[in-house]
Amino acid sequence: MKFGADLKNSIVPEWQHGYIAYDELKRLIKELSSLEGGAKESAEEDFFMMLEDELEKVNRFYLEKIQEFDGELKVLEGRPRSDSNSALAAGGVPSDRMVALHAQIGQLQAFVWLNTQGFEKIMKKYDKFMGLRHTPGAKSPDFEARLRGEVFKSERLDACLEKFKATRSQLSSDVGALEMKLISGSANKPLAEEISARLGVPLSPAKVRRFNDGEVNIQLCDSVRGCDVYIVQPTCPPVNDHLVELLLLISAARRASAASVTAVVPYYGYARQDRKDRSRVPISAADVARMMEAMGVDRVVCVDLHCAQIQGFFGPRTPVDNLFAAPIAVTYFNMKDLVKPVIVSPDAGGVARAKLFMEGFSRLPDPPEVSLAVILKQRVEAGVVGTMHLVGSVEGCDCIIVDDMIDTAGTLTAAANELRNFGAKRVFAFATHGLFSGPAADRIEACVLEECVVANTVPLNPAVKEKTRKIRQVSVGKLVESAIRGIHCGTSVSALFNADLGADLLA
């Protein structure tokens, strides 16, 4: 789903007049790119005037809502404390009103995130259509820096939320019952903020600091007693630091009397060590699962585990939801006008993953004919590939190499170059987790890959962005948000494994 449609599906109907006019700005950019001379200058001036008007509109609406919330909180502060055993104590505050007010504050947080995304995407489109992308004249970097100082990006919403929490604790003794708390570690804040905005649930503040000797210091800044806590923390590089953060966040929530603790781990570190393949080695994926259970986790949500049996390393009292990013990627690649697409597994162990990816195309409304190929490697020694053999035909075809992660990109780039030697027309790649360690960015830039698509389970290092323009991220925020909503509301999560939902999950 493109952002314009995503925005329409996510807006609060009563607030529609306060959102960015994304489609209109996008239309002006397309018109602008087709003009020349004085007409172009005039149209460009009209575009930037409208952009300023939209910013002013969003800022004004944001202030109006903040003032509404402040006014209502002042009224509530004058009410007597209500008894948790009755919805309406004499002159007290109805509990459903407190819930509704909390939901509206969450909706305003979603409003801020959606408009931020809208303005950033509009300016990137402007740079793209005007030929300014990746040039010194690109306007999006300066515009994004300016956005951070706009009124609707201020900390007034956070202050309003803190005031609401203080007021609620004064008015009601039944604060945490069945409430959702969303907490983020330091591993992937942007993804946590997207999930928070889509849920309409503000992120609960947590202090994650380091002592001088490197020890992790955790403190939850909000009460979680009686709440359902969801901790968003992939164990991406630096893996050990983020793993310890995750364990201590789980421990802190459990010791603070949370009703349940769900660890949302989009990238599960140590997953590659899932069996004892040599003498005297640990099964690290199982050991990480044991540590999480020892800390008191109730449930785990992951995205594309390296191998499905890792779910079995957790006991039967700790269910694991392994979500798939492939439907999102299938929908993305289907918009590429592929010629005789071939899904390629870079090794024999990934054939099942590539086959599932290929089957995803068959579920599309107008499915293309897709075939499967496998590259068989013969290693001279560990980490050194000797020869490669192709099983299948790629002559004159567009190829998509499918894997679960990209680390140093050695296997990926060697496979891409080999496919070109076998006659492939264009070569793309998709992997859920983009680690891009060491020389990965340089290798991707130097190889024949047209585009390397990864999910945002792992934040993309700015240094990698500077070295190559071939990497594109798709978001799993909508996928994870849907899983959390299903778990919290007690509805089925199995629908998220359906490839038919890919178009709805592509954000």
Report the alpha-carbon distance of residue 36 to residue 483 in Å, rounded.
48
Report the alpha-carbon distance of residue 51 to residue 25 in Å, rounded.
7
Identify which of 292, 178, 181, 289 has the alpha carbon closest to the alpha carbon of residue 230. Answer: 181
* Distances from the Cα of 460 to the Cα of 91, 135, 189, 325, 467, angstroms: 53, 20, 12, 17, 12
- Tokens representing 97 are 């009103």
Decide: 379 and 386 in contact? Cβ < 8 Å: yes
Q: What is the distance, to the nearest Å, from the Cα of residue 229 to the centroid of all Cα atoms in its chain? A: 18
Marked catalytic residue, from 57, 124, 153, 377: 377
Decide: 344 and 399 in contact? Cβ < 8 Å: yes
**Unique residue bearing structure tokens 């909503």:** 485
β-strands 320-323, 228-232 pairing:
unpaired
Q: Is 207 a catalytic residue?
A: no
Q: How many other CB atoms are found less than 10 A from the CB of residue 128?
A: 15
β-strands 216-220, 206-210 pairing:
antiparallel
* Distances from the Cα of 414 to the Cα of 373, 403, 410, 441, angstroms: 15, 14, 6, 14
Which ranges in 172-255 belong to alpha helices (H)?
189-199, 239-255
- Tokens representing 342 are 């071939």
Please list the helix, strand and coil fractions of the chain in percent, rounded to the nearest 5, in that order.
50, 20, 35
What does 354-414 look like in DSSP terms, one character per residue? HHHHHHHHHTSSSPPP-EEEEEEEEEEETTEEEEEEEES--TT-EEEEEEEEESS-HHHHH
Decide: 469 and 134 in contact? Cβ < 8 Å: yes
β-strands 451-455, 299-303 pairing:
unpaired
Q: How many residues are present in the chain?
A: 507
Which residues form the catalytic set? 377
